[in-house]
Structures are given as C-alpha cells and as structure tokens.
A and B are shown apart, each in its own frame.
Chain A
Amino acid sequence: MAKVASGAAPAAAGPSSRPAGSSGTGLNWLPHLVLWLGIAVTAFPLYIAFVASTLTPQDVAQAPMPALPGAHMVENYQAILIQGMKGTYLSPPVWQMMWNSLLMALIITAGKIVLSVMSAYAVVFFEFRGRMVAFWMIFLTLMLPVEVRIVPTYEVVSNLKLINTMTGLTLPLIASATGTLLFRQFFMTLPDQLVEAARIDGAGPMRFFKDVVLPLSATNIAALAVILFIYGWNQYLWPLLMTTDNRLDTIVVGITKMIGTGDATTNWPQVMATTLLAVLPPALVVILMRRWFVKGLVDSEK
C-alpha cells in the first residue's frame, strides 16, 4: 500500500507542475483567486448548515439567523444519531439510516465492479457468437438510466417479492454499462503479446484474469469504486419509491422525509445535523482514496 502510494506521488504532481510553470507571467494570483472564490461558494452553505445544526429550532427561525455556532451541537447530534427524529415522520435513528446507505452504496459498488470487470473481460478476450451483440446491448443500457425505466423496474422487483429488501434496493442499480465500457477500453490497451505470453506460460483464462488482468486493473478499479460509492450513496428516487418500511430508509431519503409538509413544523437543527452526517462518508472516501483515484485516471501501468 505504502509502495503504491509513493508511486502515485509523482503522477499526482504531474498535472499541478504545469500551472506552476506559468509563474513567470505574474498572473499567479488569478488562479488562486478563482480557487478561493470556488471554495467560498462551495463551503458557505456547508458552514450555514453546520451553524444551524448547533442551534435550537427557535434560534434558526429568527431572521437573521445567528452567524456563529450555538451551544446545542452535542445535544442535537446525539438526539438524531441515537433516537432519530420525533415528529410526523418517526425516523429510525440516523446511525441506522447511515448503515443502510453504507450497505447500499457498498453493495452497488462491489456488484457493479464485479459485473463490469467480468463482462468486459468476456467481451474483449473471448471470441464467441454474438459477442458484439452482447456488447452493444450492454452499451445501449447507457441510454436508459434508472429514472427512465423506473416503472417497469418496480414491476419486476415487485413481482420478485423484493420490495422492502436490501436486495431489491441494490439489484436494479447494479446493472450498468459505464463500468463495462471503462474496463473494455482499458483491456483493449493490453498488448496481444501479453495474452499470448500467458498462454504459452500455461495460464488459462481464469488464471490470466486473476494473475494479470486484475492486478493491472487495480488502479482503475479503485477510481471506479470511488465514483460508484458516491453514486450509490446519493441514490434518491429508487430508494424513495422502493421502501415503505422506515427501517430501510437511507439517509438521503430520510432527510427529505424529515422536512415537514403542510402545517407540520420542521426541526431544522436536526435536519441540518443529519445533512452534515450524510456528507461525511462520501467526503471521507474521496479524501482517503484521492491518490488511488488520481492514479487510476491518469496513469496505467503497462
């Protein structure tokens, strides 16, 4: 792991070394200014959410809302994490919603990667009847995102009696063409002679897959995993439609359900606390996997 990380350092430094070369023009402050503006625009709502999550509902309702954090942070987070929201929507505790989201995101990530690596391997390295047909069928699904096929998908899942199960929640989201496409492009860059050398060395298809193809795809898999984890974590429409049992609510669905409709009041500090908790795991994944992610996108070890 450490070895790989050290190998990634120059790759990560590569793109950033180019803007540094323009320092001679005296316009160094401009990119910095743009970056700081971007950070401000992104970070300000997060800051407001954080401040709101440390106040009482009455404080938040004031106009203007206090700009500095209040004293109720621990109490708000504790309440939401352990007991959940009490109101018109009796939510499960937030830790359980986070667990649901995590499980869903991980299953989707793992499922998609396994499926796409294997299907790309079949499409690239094997000659069989209907190979291109299979590839184009996979490719065509790119044009049918979840939203488009949501009604028939619901029907299928409901007929399979998978409503209100984790399987029903994840399975329809696993089938995907993006991963297959990505790995297909990568596999096609592997030289034919490498495949032939392995054949002569006596490696069968499974052995070649395990010993050569998978290790060489490691960085691609890592990069895709980051993208897919966030994709899975952010799923909203399908979980909303699919689950009627509150215990299976994911955190993204939970947040919308927490916001009261009609005359019901909303406990904004608790909603904001939940929101920040929902942002945390994807952010952590990106930060921790940053090196692998960049390496997977810029560099292929061939």
Chain B
Amino acid sequence: MGAISLKQVGKTYGQGAKAVEAIEGVDAEINDGEFVVIVGPSGCGKSTLLRMVAGLEDITTGQIAIAGRVVNGVDPTDRDIAMVFQNYALYPHFNVFDNMAYGLRIRKVPKDEVQRRVEKAAATLELSHLLERKPRQLSGGQRQRVAMGRAIVRQPQVFLFDEPLSNLDAKLRAQTRLEIQKLHRGLGVTSLFVTHDQVEAMTLAQRMIVMNAGRIEQIGTPEQVYGAPATTFVASFIGSPPMNLLNGQATAAGFELGTQLLPLPGPAPRHGSLALGLRPEHTEPGTEGDPACWPLRVDVVEMLGAERLVHGHLAGAAFTLRIDGTLTPPHPGQTLYLRAPAERLHWFDPSTGQRVEAAR
C-alpha cells in the first residue's frame, strides 16, 4: 500500500562547474505502515529528501515510488501524501475547521463526509472546542495539532513531517512526541519524519535513516544504530554525550595511543591504524594498579541531576565518562581508573570511517 521506495535518488543545485550536489545516490525502502525518521545535522539534505518525496523539489537523478507508483513527475497534489510543516503553515484567515477541510473541499469530497472526517480528526486531537478559532488565537501546540489534523483528514498513503516539533517548548515537545506515536499506532499510515534531534529520532522511529552531507550513513532500528553504529559519524552523532573516539595503532600488545599503550580486554579486529570507540555510559570503574585499567585524568565534572559527566584526558586524548549522580564526584586533577568491557568496544577504519567488526 503506502510503501516508499527511493532508488539512487540525487539532487543537484545549479549547473556545470557551480553545481552543488545536495543529495547523492540515496537508496532506501520504507515499508507500508512503518514510521521512519530521517535524522542528521542541519544542511545534511534530510529536509530536501523529504521535500523530494513530497514533490516540492525536483528529482535530479534516480527514482521515487510511492505505493508502487513512480512519482518523479507527479505533482504534490496527486501523490496522495500529506505534510506537516515546521511552522505549521496554517491558512491564517481560515478557522480551524476550514483549515482542515480545505484540502477535502478542493478534492470535491461531499459536504457531510467533510464534516464527519474533520470532526473525527478534531476529536482525536482534542480540538473539537476550537473549530471556530482562527490560527492566531491558538497556542503553538494547538496549531501543531491543527496541522496534523489537516494531514489526517486527507487519509493519505503517506504522512511527511518536516521538523514539526522544533517550534515547541521542551515539555510540549515530549508530550507531542507521545501523541504522534499514539496517532501512528492508531492510523498505521506510513510516516516519514525529519528531525535534527536525536532524542526525537530514537523515541519515534521504528527505523531511522542517519544522513550526513547528502548521503545515508546508516539505516536501521534505533537499537542497531545505537548498538552498532556503521560509521564514526553515526557513532558521534547518536548518543549524548557522543561516543569517545580514540585514534591509534592496534598491536598485539594493546592499543597504542601516542606514546602510551592501553591494554585491550580482547583482541582488536586487525592490527594497524584504527579508531576505537567507547560510549561514556559503557565504562566500568576499575582499581588503581590493575594493569588492565585505563587511567583518566579528570578536568571538569558536570552535574546533570541523575548523573554526572566527567570530562578528562586519556593518554592525551579527550575522553568523557558518565557516572551515577549519587556517587561521590571525582575532583579535577584526580586520576580515575576505568575498565572497558570487550563487548562495548567499537572499531572503525580511521581513513574511511567505516565500522570494522570485531573478530569474535
């Protein structure tokens, strides 16, 4: 039904020497009814990709299909999609009812059917008492719900969300996130959601697409992306604070970092130049004098409430560590001893940034 298929999709702005490749060779399959989040830093092309699916941007190369139909040349009107915009893009002179009904009226849906669908959507989104209001009389959260209502009443094959939560305050954002999840569970419509916020991505996604510089870095479930990042970019982008990455030489003796040698809990996947990744939350406390432990010189300690972040240096490289907030905090200048569990270590090729699987 509402599956989306992207085949070698590319987008180039400008021509000739001045051409800028915004998106290159993107391949992705989104199953019917799936909730997929596209996440990446600003300027990575994620919004452009979404707008290409919507038909608001031309496709330079490749092919986009929605529900089995190639839509490259199809107008947004005829793609059977609905979109929720970042600034909601409500019609300022229409009231809430008309905002939601407008698309249906243009499509010549019978009047009583329009009435029925809008009222149903309004009830779902708790907007029933606001139908007569104009958008400027609504709060940000309410406007956001109207924008979603406008998408729902159309009963499209695909929902497209372009950073719909970024104009909301933190509390409302968390709440709306839950509502979107609930809504998706209820309607089961294929959804493509763009965000730069990794928390949104992790919490909403059934599968996520991590993008950087116009390319897909990794596609996978939140667990896969967090547990086995495919590239150093994904490793440092997903997770907060980001994964520690240490560039050094793997040898039979351990991991050479500058002049120092860190002992490894297990063998490195190969010898030579490698990047070692370890998440701040995945270290274990060690004891002084234990030869398998890594010494960390503490620089700064940050209190976050439930936990503390310890920023320091490990053999000359910056390293961050997350510890329980109830423990006695280390003080700057102190040396901590860490243990790195073998199954928590990630290895990457430093030249390509690609993940290197550890030999098990």
Contact = CB atoms under 8 A, between A and B. Distances in A.
7 contacts: A197-B150, A199-B75, A199-B77, A202-B103, A202-B106, A215-B93, A301-B93
Contacts of A203: 102, 106
Interface residues of B, number: 22
Interface in A174-211: 191, 193-194, 196-204, 207, 211
Nearest to B86: A193
Interface of A: 191, 193-194, 196-204, 207, 211-212, 215-216, 301-302
B81 A200 contact: yes
B102 A191 contact: no
Contact of B93 (A191, A196, A216): A216
Interface string B146-172: 000010000000000000000000000
A interface SS class? helix
A116 B329 CA distance: 70
Contact of A200 (B82, B87, B92): B82
B93 A197 contact: no
B107 interface: yes
Contact of A201 (B54, B56, B106, B136): B106
Interface in B83-140: 83, 85-87, 89-93, 102-103, 106-107, 136
B103 to A, nearest CB: 4
A202 B74 CA distance: 12
B85 A196 contact: yes
A216 to B, nearest CB: 6
B290 to A, nearest CB: 58
Contacts of B56: 196, 199-200
A197 B56 CA distance: 10
Nearest to A302: B92
A201 B103 contact: yes
Contacts of B103: 200-202
B76 interface: yes
Given A196-B89, A212-B91, 18 more contacts: A191-B89, A196-B54, A196-B76, A196-B83, A197-B89, A197-B91, A197-B150, A200-B56, A200-B76, A200-B77, A201-B77, A201-B150, A203-B102, A203-B106, A207-B106, A211-B102, A215-B93, A302-B92
Interface string B289-326: 00000000000000000000000000000000000000
A169 B79 CA distance: 51
B91 A194 contact: yes
A193 B85 contact: yes
B83 A197 contact: yes
A30 to B, nearest CB: 38
A199 B55 CA distance: 10
Given A202-B103, A215-B93, A216-B93, A193 B87 contact: yes
Contacts of A207: 106
Contacts of A197: 83, 85, 89-91, 150
B92 A301 contact: yes
B61 to A, nearest CB: 21
Interface string B24-54: 0000000000000000000000000000001
A4 to B, nearest CB: 11
A212 B93 CA distance: 8
A215 B89 CA distance: 16
Nearest to A204: B77
Contacts of A216: 92-93
A280 B106 CA distance: 45
A215 B102 CA distance: 14
B86 A200 contact: no
A200 B159 CA distance: 11
Contacts of A201: 77, 102-103, 106, 150
Nearest to B77: A202
A301 B89 contact: no
A202 B107 contact: yes
Contacts of B54: 196, 200
Interface string B232-264: 000000000000000000000000000000000
B117 to A, nearest CB: 14
Given A199-B56, A199-B76, A200-B77, A194 B106 contact: no
A201 B102 CA distance: 7
Nearest to A193: B89
